[in-house]
Amino acid sequence: MKDYRPDDFDFNQTLGEITQGIKKPNILICGATGAGKSSVVNYVFGEDVAKIGHGIPVTRGITKFQQENIGVVLYDTEGYEIGTEKVSNYKLNVETWVNEFRENESDKHQTMKTANDNSDLSNQIHEVWYCISAANKRVTDMDIDVIRMLNRKKLPLAVVLTQIDNVDAEELQAMEEAIRNNCQVEFFRTSVSDDEVVISALNDYLQWDELIKWAIDHLDESLREGFISALKGNLAAKKRLINHKIIPLYTSGAAGVALTPIPFSDAALLVPIQIKMSLHIMKTYGLDQKLGNLSSLVGSVVVSESGRLLAQTLSANLFKLIPGVGTAIGTTVNTAVASSFTAAMGYAISEICFRCATAVFEEGKEIEWNDYFNGENIGKLMTEWFRVARRG
Ligand SMILES: Nc1nc2c(ncn2[C@@H]2O[C@H](COP(=O)(O)OP(=O)(O)OP(=O)(O)O)[C@@H](O)[C@H]2O)c(=O)[nH]1
Ligand SMILES: [Mg+2]
C-alpha cells in the first residue's frame, strides 16, 4: 500500500473546495429599529457572522453580510423608527429591493461568470425573519403592512417575537392574538437575555429550536447544509446532517472507487476521500473556525490512521462481519468494504468532533485537540460502528 504522508495533502485547499461546494441561503432580516434583529442573528449564528463594519451596503437601508467560510448570506434591513418618515420609506425600500433583487443578482452573475455558481436559486431571497419586539407591547400597522406585502411575494416568512423577557404572559398573548388576527404567519418567541434566572423562567416559552426547525424546513434541500453549518451550537442538527447527508456522500464515492475490484494495494485510494469527508465533518461542526490549523491535525490523523486501520481491520477479519463482503477479501477491496470502512471512519470522526464541539462551544472548555483526535479514539469508535453494523 502506498504510504501517504500528511505532506502529500493540502488540507486547507481541500477545506476550500468543500466551502466552495456549499450553497448559501439568502436570509432577509426585517423589523423596527431596536427590535432585536442583530441580537437574533448573533444568537443563532454567532457574533462573527454579522460583525459590525463587515457588511456591504447593497441599497439604501439594506446591508449584506457575507463571508467566504460561512454558509449563509444575511441581508439586514436598517430598522424604521416609529413616528418618523422612515416608516413609510421602509416598506418601499424593502419592496423595491426585493423586486429588483433577482434582476440585480442575475446581472452580477453574468458579469462575474463565477465557475462554481451552478445554482439557479442563488438569486432569490429564500426566507424572511421578521422581528417584532415584545418590549413595545404592540404589533404596529406598519409591521402588518410589510408582512402582508412580503407574503404576497410568496416569500417564506417567520415572525420572530423578540425580547419576551420584557412582557408578562397576558401582554404576550395579546400580541400573539394581534399577529394571528392580521396575517397568516408562523411566529416564534425568543429572548436573548443573558440573565440565567430570566432565561430559565422563560424556558417553557422560548421557541428558538422551533424557529430553527422552521427555517430549515422552509429551505430547499440544497441550501440546508449551508444553513446548518452556519448555526452556532445546534450540535444535534449538525450531527443529523452529517449522518444522513454528508457521510453517505463519501461512502458512495468510496464505493465508486472500488466498483471494479481493485487490488488491495489500491485501498489507499480511499485515503483522500476519507480526508475530505473528515474535513467536511469538522467544518460542519464549526471547528474549522476555532483553530486555524485544526484541519491539518485532523487530516494528518486521518492519513496515518486510515491506512493502518484498514490493514488492521482486514487482518482482524472485522469485515467478515459485514454482510455482502465476499471471500475475495485480502486481495481486493470490494465496494462493501470500501463504503463500510469509510462510513465507520465518518462515524468516528463525527463522534470525536461532536465531543470537541460540545466541550468547546457548550462547556466553554479549553481542550487539547490531541486528546480527542488520536488513533486510539478513532480505532475504538470504528470498532463500535462495526459492532452496531453487524447487529443491525
Ligand atoms: N432584555 C432584552 N434586551 C434585548 C433583547 N434583544 C435585544 N435586546 C436589546 O435591545 C437593543 C436593540 O437590540 P438590537 O439587536 O441591536 O436591535 P436591532 O433590531 O438590530 O436594532 P437596529 O440595528 O438599530 O435596527 C439592544 O440594546 C439589545 O441589547 C432581549 O431579548 N431581551
Ligand atoms: Mg441591528
Q: Where are the domains of the chain?
A: 6-18+234-391, 26-218
Q: What atom of ligand 1 comes closest to residue 41's alpha carbon?
A: 15
- Cα–Cα distance measured from residue 246 to residue 375, given in angstroms and rounded to the nearest whole number: 22
**CA nearest ligand 1 atom 25, residue:** 33
What is the length of the chain? 392
Q: What atom of ligand 1 comes closest to residue 40's alpha carbon?
A: 15
- 245 Cα: distance to centroid of ligand 2 (angstroms): 34
- 363 Cα: distance to centroid of ligand 1 (angstroms): 25
From 37, 39, 80, 86, give the residue whose CB has the most ligand 1 atoms within 8 Å, as the site to mutate. Answer: 39
Give Dmax (Cα) for the chain. Answer: 79
Q: What is the pairing mode between strands 157-162 and 127-133?
A: parallel
Which pLDDT does position 81 carry in this prediction? 77
- Cα–Cα distance measured from residue 219 to residue 285, given in angstroms and rounded to the nearest whole number: 20
Q: What atom of ligand 1 comes closest to residue 190's alpha carbon?
A: 31
Which pLDDT does position 339 carry in this prediction? 85
Q: Is the CB of 300 under 6 A from ligand 1?
A: no
**CA nearest ligand 1 atom 32, residue:** 163
- 40 Cα: distance to centroid of ligand 1 (angstroms): 8
Which pLDDT does position 386 carry in this prediction? 87
Q: Is the CB of 38 under 6 A from ligand 1?
A: yes
Burial of 85 (0-12, 13-18, 19+ CB in 10 A): exposed
- Cα–Cα distance measured from residue 375 to residue 309, given in angstroms and rounded to the nearest whole number: 9
Which H helix or E strand runs over 158? strand 157-162
| Ligand having the closest approach to the CA of 40 | 1
**Alpha-helix runs per DSSP H in 285-366:** 294-315, 335-357
Which H helix or E strand runs over 57? strand 56-59
Which pLDDT does position 108 carry in this prediction? 56
- Cα–Cα distance measured from residue 75 to residue 80, given in angstroms and rounded to the nearest whole number: 15
- 11 Cα: distance to centroid of ligand 1 (angstroms): 40
Dig out the grid coordinates for 144 from the structure.
Answer: 402588518
Which pLDDT does position 153 carry in this prediction? 92
- 41 Cα: distance to centroid of ligand 1 (angstroms): 11
First-last CA distance in the chain: 31
Q: What atom of ligand 1 comes closest to residue 42's alpha carbon?
A: 15
Q: How far is CA 161 from CA 88, 153, 208, in A?
A: 22, 22, 10
- 127 Cα: distance to centroid of ligand 2 (angstroms): 18
**CA nearest ligand 1 atom 14, residue:** 36
- 163 Cα: distance to centroid of ligand 1 (angstroms): 8
Q: Is the CB of 63 under 6 A from ligand 1?
A: no
- Cα–Cα distance measured from residue 256 to residue 252, given in angstroms and rounded to the nearest whole number: 6
Which pLDDT does position 59 carry in this prediction? 79
Q: What atom of ligand 1 comes closest to residue 131's alpha carbon?
A: 19
| Ligand having the closest approach to the CA of 162 | 1
Q: Which of 71, 22, 75 is nearest to 222 (CA)?
A: 22
- 327 Cα: distance to centroid of ligand 2 (angstroms): 63
Which pLDDT does position 320 carry in this prediction? 55
pTM over 0.85: yes
Q: Per-residue confidence of the chain (392 residues) as pLDDT tens digits?
A: 456 677 778 888 888 999 999 999 999 999 999 999 999 999 999 988 888 778 888 877 899 999 988 999 999 998 877 666 667 788 888 998 888 877 666 555 555 444 444 445 677 899 999 999 999 998 998 899 999 999 999 999 999 999 999 999 999 999 999 999 999 999 999 999 888 898 888 988 999 999 999 999 999 999 999 999 999 989 999 999 999 999 999 998 888 776 555 554 456 678 889 889 999 999 999 988 766 677 777 777 877 777 677 666 655 555 555 555 544 444 456 777 788 889 999 999 999 999 999 999 899 998 888 899 888 899 899 989 988 987 77
The DSSP call for residue 3 is -
Q: How far is CA 365 from CA 43, 230, 295, 350, 360, in A?
A: 19, 21, 20, 19, 5
The superfamily CATH assigns to domain 26-218 is P-loop containing nucleotide triphosphate hydrolases (3.40.50.300)
Q: Is the CB of 166 under 6 A from ligand 1?
A: yes
Which pLDDT does position 329 carry in this prediction? 46
